[in-house]
Amino acid sequence: MAKTKVKTTFFCNNCGAQFPKWVGKCSSCNQWNTIAEEIIARPDKNDIKATFNIVRNSKPQLLEDIKIADIPRIKLPGTELNRVLGGGLVPGSLVLFGGDPGIGKSTLMLQMSLRLKGHKTLYVSGEESEQQIKMRAERIGNKNPDCYILTETSTQNIFHHIKELNPDVLIIDSIQTLTTATIDSSPGSISQVRECTAELMKYAKETNTPVFLIGHITKDGNIAGPKILEHMVDVVLQFEGDRNHIYRLLRAAKNRFGSTNELGIYEMHGEGLKEVSNPSDILISNKDETLSGSAIAATMEGNRPLLIEIQSLVSTAAYGTPQRSSTGFDLRRLNMLLAVLEKRCGFRLAQKDVFLNIAGGIKVDDPAIDLAVISAILSSSEDIAVPPTACFASEVGLSGELRPVSRIDQRVMEAEKLGFDKIFVSKHNKKGMAKLDHKIEVIFVGKVEEVFQNLFG
């Protein structure tokens, strides 16, 4: 019988810091009552069989002597996931894929496995049975003869099947359900998640096989497990969306192989997730009549220009204290813009309720939508509709001046493509714009008052 060394240790459930004894406050993240005890049993090293026998003889090299090999990326089906990953899936990469329960993480990964032709894919599920996955695959309606399904939670058994199958892409659903024999603690604990991820990372790097890890998130929206989990992986993807809307947004919170500013948009249907090729069409509502309190902003998500609709409602405060509420827009920035209108432009909004919403259920942090936000607020306050053929792309400063924004040419061309007649931009963007013959009228303004006079007279 193998001898084991039993060790009791304490971990912080918030940040993953380790302590020799229980303490009330974590000295790493300053959170109270987050320290939990875990029993770790480490078997003798001779009893642990190697899951894959690959020997890498590494030696120090001069930086100038290292040659960069052009490693081709695996082109995934569709364009949205490829865009967010930076142009495709890098061999040997470890991708962490998180999102709310029921948002569509497993559906997207299974859909990718069924559509990835020419590559052997192993989908490992610790949450569902083979029959449940089969039912979902039939609903999606795609067939792939190289897609294998495995329902297992032990990493030792998983690596045994991997050695026999030798897949090109590995998908783990989810990392919180896996257990390893080197740690004697419950699945989902900090030590189990860390050790299982370390084993999968070693496998990915030594065999040059890309691995997807589906991860749960906490009630605060962070990925469950130790914070070191996000440091270990190469890419962290976040799948966002409102259950009341059919649209899902895919963002990269970390990407060692590309930009973190890219955005992928999907539409949830009964047959799976459908890519949205032109998101500007779905983010702008088609109204039969022109109403006040609505303005169109030209924003950027990575290299993709988007036109979004800003909706505002300004009314007299019914309960004495004015309310400020925003959906999809930073509330602190909304308060700042209201202060600019009050102080610099003379609009009396201190005793009025202001509600702001970005149509489509998306969240935008681009400062270039400031002018559209102000225009929507003033339109609702004066009850005068903004012309439906006008859009805006400018940042608003604290003195009421309009500041230039980046990639103005792409914003203008997107507005022109969607049939807008004029776009309001900062006069300081005039020098950086290319000399192109636009059919859309580009109006250069310097202050908020000029925009108000041009729109409402």
Q: Which residues are annotated as part of the binding site for ATP? A: 99-106
Query: How far is Cα 356 from Cα 314, in angstroms, rounded to an integer?
Result: 9
Report yes or no: 83 and 42 within 8 Å, Cβ to Cβ: no
Query: How far is Cα 100 from Cα 221, in angstroms, rounded to an integer?
Result: 8
Report yes or no: 420 and 295 within 8 Å, Cβ to Cβ: no
Binding site, annotated residues: 99-106
- The DSSP annotation for 363-406 comes to ----GGGHHHHHHHHHHHHHT-PPPTTEEEE-EE-TTSBEEP-S
Runs of H (alpha helix) within 167-219 = 190-207
Report the amino acid identity of residue 353: D
DSSP structural state of residue 298: E
Give Cα separations from 90 to 73, 208, 219, 286, 412 (angstroms): 5, 9, 31, 40, 34
Give Cα separations from 134 to 22, 104, 272 (angstroms): 46, 16, 14
Report yes or no: 195 and 178 within 8 Å, Cβ to Cβ: no
